[in-house]
Structure 1
Amino acid sequence: MSPSGPAEPELSYEKARDELVSVVQRLESGGVPLDESLKLWERGEELAAICQRWLDGARARVDAARKARTGEAGPSDG
């Protein structure tokens, strides 16, 4: 793992989402010192980015599968 972060998410979507929920709950509780709150916020941002990468990848796979099934050349607008 490089200091700038891994090329792929290091956590599964579900693990990242669950940890993000925990981070949000801790931040919303209001009983966390400022320094720890900042660290939690930063971790939450990392986790949100991991989740977004997983969701983007899933969307791309669904789009590719739809195109392959229908022989569609481009996205269709409803």
Structure 2
Amino acid sequence: MVTLTIDRQIELYSKSLLEALLKVSDYRLDEAVAEKIAYQYAKQLDYSDAMLMHVGVTTVASNLVSKIKSEYFNA
């Protein structure tokens, strides 16, 4: 079994979440904003929690997109 450092876990999760945020928003969410949100969210996760693996990034992205102010979306 490969053990990832916390920094690597954050990097991997934030990249996946970034892609999901862009996809869920139909690529209307500003990419810089999506990247910042994904990284901040990924930093707050408890990677030792087994429940993390049961919630997909698309579900997380859908929940986050609904809370993002409309001014951060491109027309």
TM (normalized to structure 2)? 0.34
User: Quick check: which has more Rg, 1 or 2?
Assistant: 1
Calculate the TM-score normalised by the size of structure 1. 0.33
